[in-house]
């Protein structure tokens, strides 16, 4: 290289401070400007910035930057005085945070390398010298191994994706904690502890990187070569990480808090390494480690089997599983929904809200609506909306990733009971001592064990609103304690046979779902054991797997035995109130014949299951009747000129599907618009019937009498006394008169919460005038009324107390909360206004909610 081609190398010493990368960028740009092309200058500045940042964070010694222009290219070197801090080699996982600067250098430079001496380490690179061909980079080379003895630590069943995400998170919060300490705010962590934690984290990441050489499996078992004396440093790392997580939750750091499963994995990983180093503990696999909370394992079959409309999504918001009930509710084929974004089922005006809440969960780990039933509309495929109550739970896959399971309960049906801790509402596995789980199932149970099994199975069925889920819970109990496998076949109202359940514990066998589904019809020619049991015969002891008849139904039944195997089996009918509802088959691999006492116990067990099936079907019929009744009592709103109208209804989450809340809207003979809303005491079908009578009488009195609202309520109270049982109820009757600037609301209240007026600028006030006694007191007092001018584009909200009342707070606080939310939604479209109020306030209540809103639109 001639003197004409080279420019003298210039050097700049830098301290190990946070501002050193900025000083290095200015130094390099000043030395190279005008000597090499601008793009090359920008690349050199970026690479130098990455190298100096790494030196500040990891070496923490004095730094020297050297740069020179050669022809049209650049040669640069960054030197620190920490030769023992080697670079982390190996494959770079896409979730990792360490090594990103080195990855940038590999992609942007033509040549690069590292030189390590006794007094320091130099990372160098070259850019764009056009006079010489660029040799293939040789890589960074292996790091210098630390001195001292090493131990092998085994991590069993590591969810690798989650592990890499956790590694990224650890480095991010420790880096920010280090920068905070450099700026004078250590956040309660001493400098020695912080540096020790940083070194221990780098060591742990290097060990994980070195172990990441196997196949790309979701679950891996890896052996880490760890310094034998690393346990104290890793303990310090654990304490510092706990402090850093506390800082992220209080927003003292900008890094997001870890999600619960990431925190659990981090605790398990550090406990495993420290325990095996310090105490010679045997490894405990992640898949069997106790974690709090322990998410229930993800199983797509549970979505498909649920009779509640259910959709599951992954952490990218894509639908991964959907059952037929949800697809039918929303007008889709189940297969067409899988793979789509969940937003395809969300009305457009709620999509931004959903995305914001979902992003907030992933960024902060703080759930907003998980475990809370929220009333909102779902989007039908034809563009219409379907009122549902949404209940979302999170579950964990085997690889540690999160799945979100959403139940879309139609708004006119009751929600499943909420778990006491806000957790998953699926019926959990019954707690059993490990000894009982481990032993082989046997029919030789003691009287106490038999009574316990009968009681537990009946409890599972009686508490389950989803019949199949309840039967599956019973099946798990039976295969743990009594038999090797079991199957339940049911007759529907048309006499069709459906196998709703097969449970077994042999992992070598296909999924139980392979044996379930519709069966050929039960014909007079069917002579096999299933056909006999469905006609009422049994219990039948089966000893020959081939003697099942030759009809289609018999062949399907024989197939189960051929695939699952059975030394002996018992099939008995499920009989309730003299009707056969189906049959249950209990299979045993043992060749021993059941005793007479065992057969009598099987009959008792089948009788309990049959009662559970019958009760579930009766409940389902009552639910459908209540659903149709409630739908018939919620009238469509009339079309009114210069007025927008919207109404919503959400049943209680803990009571029957029909209640005493109601609303109504109709046009009077003179053209005025009449609105009514009321609440009858009670939460049962009697309250619904009373509400129906009151709403009908109010409409009749309003149309026939054509009197002011206070008189209409007076007539309604008198008519109420003529009922067989006088009802206690609250009610508001209002009439909207005029239009435009002359629009006026005239209303009278019978003990009902006051209407809320919200103006377009967000101001809110309650219309307290016109308040009188509730209906059904038997006291005759004059009923007042109030007259309120309605500004254009203002919103009047009539609502029942379920929207505001909470047992744990005074009513004034509840009313103030409603004002705040209504004011924030003052300019939202009226449908959005109502939906958002239900979402924000309806998730925490346990009472029915009815609301009706109007907005003058001249």
Quick one: pLDDT at residue 77? 92
- pLDDT tens, residue by residue, 501-551: 888 866 566 666 667 778 887 777 777 888 888 888 878 888 764 455 667
Is residue 141 a part of any domain in this protein? no
Written as six digits, the tokens of 182 are 């450099």
- DSSP-assigned states of every residue in 713-729: HHHHHHHHTTSSSPPPE
565 and 645 in a common domain = no
pLDDT at res. 296: 47
Where does a domain end: 593, 623, 653?
A: 623
Indicate if the pLDDT at residue 413 is higher than 50.
no
- What is the average per-residue pLDDT within 808-837? 90
Residues 6+ apart with CB under 8 A from 740: 642, 792, 856, 858
Residue 527 lies in a domain: yes
Kind plus residue range of the DSSP H or E element containing 395: strand 385-396
How does pLDDT run across 555-577, given as a tens digit for each residue? 777 777 777 776 778 889 998 87
Task: Report which of residues 709 and 135 the model is more confident about.
Answer: 709
- Report the CATH number that the domain containing residue 447 is assigned in CATH: 3.30.450.40
Residue 415 lies in a domain: no
* Phi, psi (rounded to 5 degrees) for 658: -120, 140
Q: Region 39-46: what's the mean pLDDT? A: 90
Listed residue (208, 203, 238) closest to 223, CA to CA: 208
Assess whether 457 and 361 both reside in one domain.
no
760/791 Cα distance (integer angstroms):
9
Q: Kindly state the tokens that stand for 46.
A: 């970026």
- Residue 283 belongs to some domain of the structure: no
Does 465 share its domain with 329?
no
What is the token pair recorded at 577?
A: 């109130």
Lowest mean pLDDT among 74-78, 126-130, 215-219, 227-231: 215-219
CA trace torsion 172, 173, 176, 178 (10° rounding)? -110
Residue with tokens 């059941």: 594
Position 214 scores a pLDDT of: 59
* Between 639 and 514, the higher pLDDT residue: 639
Residue 718 belongs to some domain of the structure:
yes
Spatial separation of the C-alpha atoms in residues 574 and 585, rounded to whole Å:
10
Average pLDDT over residues 816-825: 92
pLDDT value of residue 741: 77
Which tokens belong to 591? 């060749």
Nearest to 390 by CA among 842, 803, 831, 799: 842
Mean of the per-residue pLDDT values for the chain? 78
Q: 267 near 290, Cβ under 8 Å? A: no
The H or E element containing residue 201 is: helix 191-211
Domain-ending residue, one of 377, 410, 443: 410
Q: Which domain holds residue 539?
A: 434-623
Domain match, 220 and 257 both:
yes
Q: How far apart are the first and last CA of the chain?
A: 84
Lowest-pLDDT choice from 30-34, 176-180, 582-586: 176-180
Residues 449 and 558 in one domain: yes
Continuous H helices in 89-190: 100-108, 160-182
pLDDT of residue 291: 52
pLDDT at 437: 37
Tell whether 457 is covered by a domain: yes
Q: With helix as H, strand as E and coil as C, how does 264-277 read?
A: HHHHHHHHHHHHHH
Is the per-residue pLDDT at 821 higher than 80? yes
CB contact set of 153 (below 8 Å; sequence gap of 6+): 223, 224, 226, 272, 273, 276, 277
Same domain, residue pair 734 and 673:
yes
Distance CA 5, CA 31 (A): 16
Domain holding 331: CATH number? Answer: 3.30.450.20
pLDDT the model gives residue 724? 60
795 pLDDT more than 90? yes
Q: What pLDDT score was predicted for residue 280?
A: 78
| CATH number of the structural domain spanning residue 51 | 3.30.565.10
Task: Give the C-alpha separation, 831 to 853, whole Å.
Answer: 9
pLDDT (tens digit per residue) in 692-744? 888 888 888 888 888 899 999 999 988 888 776 677 889 999 999 988 778 99
pLDDT in tens, 119-128: 788 888 898 8
On whether both 169 and 265 belong to a single domain, the answer is yes
Tell me which DSSP letter residue 125 carries: E
Name residues whose C-beta falls within 8 Å of residue 165's C-beta, 6 or more positions apart in sequence.
95, 262
Distance CA 508, CA 506 (A): 5
pLDDT at 84 (0 to 100): 63
Q: Does residue 587 contact residue 483 with C-beta atoms inside 8 Å?
A: yes
Q: Give the confidence band of 439 by pLDDT, cuts at 50, 70, 90.
A: very low
- 410, 426, 442 - which closes a domain: 410
Residue 134 counted as domain residue: no
Structure tokens that stand for 538 in this block: 């049994």
Dump strand ranges (E) for 455-599.
485-491, 497-504, 517-518, 540-542, 568-576, 579-588
Chain CA centroid to CA 568, Å: 43
Calpha distance 854→675 (Å, rounded)? 9
Coil, helix or strand at residue 368: coil
- Tell whether 475 and 440 lie within a shared domain: yes
The tens digit of pLDDT for each residue in 825-852 reads: 999 999 889 988 888 887 666 678 889 9
CA distance 30 to 54: 22
The reported pLDDT for the residue numbered 357 is: 75
Question: Would you call the peptide bond into 276 cis, given omega within 30 degrees of 0 as the criterion?
Answer: no
pLDDT higher for 58 or 658?
Answer: 58
Neighbour count for residue 131 (Cβ, 10 Å)? 10
Q: How many domains does the chain have?
A: 5
Residue 582 reports pLDDT greater than 50: yes
Residue 749 lies in a domain: yes
Rounded CA separation 255/244 (Å): 9
What pLDDT band is residue 136 in, cutting at 50, 70 and 90? very low
d(CA 338, CA 737): 51
Nearest CA-CA partner of 218 in 105, 95, 127: 95
Residue 660: partners with Cβ closer than 8 Å, 6 or more residues away: 678, 679, 680, 681, 682, 683, 687, 688, 690, 691, 729, 848
Do residues 100 and 186 both lie within one domain?
no
Helix 160-182 with 260-278: angle, nearest 10 deg = 90
- Compute φ and ψ for 374, nearest 5 degrees: -115, 125
CA separation for the pair 433, 213 (Å, rounded): 40
User: 119 and 184 share a domain?
Assistant: no
Q: What is the mean pLDDT of residues 149-177?
A: 82
How confident is the model over 299-351, as pLDDT tens digits? 677 677 666 788 888 877 888 888 888 888 888 888 888 888 888 888 888 88
C-alpha–C-alpha distance, residues 562 and 545, integer Å = 7
- Cα→Cα distances 351→295, 372, 833, 843, Å: 27, 19, 15, 18
Do residues 616 and 642 share a domain? no
Q: How confident is the model at residue 794 (pLDDT cuts 50, 70, 90)?
A: very high
Where does residue 251 rank: exposed (0-12), middle (13-18), buried (19+ CB within 10 A)?
Answer: exposed
- Per the CB < 8 A criterion, the answer to whether 845 and 661 are in contact is no
Task: Establish how many alpha carbons lie within 13 A of residue 656's alpha carbon, considering only the half-sphere containing its beta carbon.
Answer: 21
Q: Are residues 668 and 796 in the same domain?
A: yes
For 448-481, the pLDDT digits (tens) are: 778 878 888 887 787 765 787 788 888 888 887 7
Output the pLDDT for position 100: 58
């Amino acid at each position: 290289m001639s003197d004409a081609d080279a420019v003298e190398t210039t050097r700049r010493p830098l301290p190990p401070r946070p501002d050193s990368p900025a000083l290095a960028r200015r130094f390099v740009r000043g030395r190279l400007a005008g000597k090499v092309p601008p793009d090359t200058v920008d690349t050199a500045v970026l690479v130098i910035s990455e190298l100096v940042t790494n030196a500040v964070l990891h070496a923490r010694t004095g730094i020297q930057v050297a740069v020179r222009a050669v022809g049209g290219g650049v040669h640069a070197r960054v030197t620190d005085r920490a030769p023992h801090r080697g670079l982390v080699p190996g494959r770079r996982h896409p979730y990792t945070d360490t090594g990103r600067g080195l990855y940038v250098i590999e992609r942007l430079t033509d040549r690069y390398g590292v030189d390590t001496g006794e007094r320091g380490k130099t990372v160098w690179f070259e850019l764009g010298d056009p006079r010489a061909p660029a040799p293939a980079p040789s890589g960074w080379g292996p790091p210098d191994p630390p001195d001292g003895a090493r131990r092998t630590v085994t991590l069993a069943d590591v969810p690798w994706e989650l592990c890499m995400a956790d590694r990224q998170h650890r480095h991010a919060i420790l880096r920010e904690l280090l920068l905070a300490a450099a700026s004078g705010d250590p956040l309660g962590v001493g400098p020695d502890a912080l540096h020790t934690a940083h070194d221990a984290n780098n060591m742990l990441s290097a060990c994980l990187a070195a172990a990441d050489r196997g196949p790309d499996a979701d679950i891996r078992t890896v052996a880490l070569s760890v310094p034998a004396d690393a346990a104290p440093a890793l303990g310090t790392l654990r304490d510092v990480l706990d402090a850093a997580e506390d800082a992220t939750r209080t927003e003292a750091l900008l890094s997001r808090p870890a999600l619960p499963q990431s925190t659990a994995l981090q605790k398990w990983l550090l406990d495993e390494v420290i325990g095996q180093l310090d105490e010679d503990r045997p490894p405990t696999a992640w898949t069997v480690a106790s974690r709090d909370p322990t998410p229930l394992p993800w199983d797509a079959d549970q979505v498909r089997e649920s009779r509640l409309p259910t959709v599951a999504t992954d952490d990218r918001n894509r639908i991964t599983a959907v059952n037929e009930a949800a697809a039918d509710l929303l007008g889709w084929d189940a297969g067409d929904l899988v793979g789509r974004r969940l937003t395809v089922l969300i009305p457009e005006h709620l999509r931004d809200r959903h995305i914001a809440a979902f992003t907030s969960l992933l960024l902060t780990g703080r759930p907003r609506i998980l475990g809370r039933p929220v009333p909102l509309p779902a989007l039908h495929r034809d563009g219409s909306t379907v009122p549902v109550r949404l209940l979302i739970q999170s579950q964990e896959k085997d690889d540690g990733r999160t799945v979100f399971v959403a139940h879309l309960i139609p708004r006119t049906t009751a929600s499943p009971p909420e778990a006491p801790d806000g957790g998953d509402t699926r019926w959990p596995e019954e707690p059993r001592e490990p000894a009982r789980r481990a032993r082989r199932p046997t029919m030789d149970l003691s009287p106490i064990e038999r009574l316990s099994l009968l009681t537990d199975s009946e409890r599972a069925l009686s508490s389950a609103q989803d019949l199949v889920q309840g039967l599956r819970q019973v099946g798990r109990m039976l295969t743990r304690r009594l038999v090797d496998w079991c199957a339940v076949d049911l007759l529907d109202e048309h006499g069709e046979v459906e196998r709703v359940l097969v449970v077994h514990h042999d992992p070598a066998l296909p999924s139980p779902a392979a044996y379930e589904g519709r069966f050929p019809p039960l014909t007079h020619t069917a002579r096999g054991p299933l056909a006999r049991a469905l006609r009422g015969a049994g219990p039948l002891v089966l000893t020959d797997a081939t003697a099942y008849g030759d009809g289609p139904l018999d062949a399907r039944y024989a197939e189960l035995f051929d695939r699952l195997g059975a030394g002996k089996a018992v099939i008995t009918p499920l009989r309730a109130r003299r009707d056969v509802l189906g049959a249950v088959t209990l299979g045993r691999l043992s060749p021993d014949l059941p005793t007479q006492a065992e057969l009598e116990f099987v009959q008792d067990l089948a009788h309990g299951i049959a009662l559970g099936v019958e009760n579930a079907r009766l409940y389902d019929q009552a639910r459908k009747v209540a659903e149709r009744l409630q739908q018939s009592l919620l009238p469509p709103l009339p079309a009114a000129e210069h007025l927008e109208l919207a109404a919503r209804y959400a049943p209680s989450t803990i009571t029957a599907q029909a209640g005493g809340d109601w609303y109504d809207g109709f046009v009077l003979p003179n053209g005025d618009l009449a609105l009514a809303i009321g609440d009858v005491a009670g939460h049962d079908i009697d309250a619904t019937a009373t509400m129906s009578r009151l709403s009908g009488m109010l409409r009749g009195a309003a149309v026939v009498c054509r009197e002011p609202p206070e008189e209409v309520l007076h007539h309604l109270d008198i008519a109420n006394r003529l009922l067989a049982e006088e009802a206690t109820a609250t009610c508001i009757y209002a009439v909207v008169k005029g239009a435009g600037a002359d629009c006026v609301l005239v209303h009278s209240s019978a003990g009902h919460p006051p209407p809320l007026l919200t103006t377009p600028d967000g101001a809110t006030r309650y219309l307290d005038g016109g308040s009188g006694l509730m209906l059904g007191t038997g006291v005759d007092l004059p009923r007042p009324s109030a007259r309120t001018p309605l500004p254009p584009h203002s919103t009047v909200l009539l609502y029942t107390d379920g929207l505001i009342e909470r047992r744990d707070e005074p009513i004034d606080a509840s009313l103030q909360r409603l004002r705040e939310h209504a004011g924030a939604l003052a300019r939202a479209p009226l449908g959005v206004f109502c939906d958002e109020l239900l979402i924000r306030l309806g998730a925490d209540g346990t009472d029915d909610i009815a609301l009706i809103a109007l907005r003058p639109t001249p």
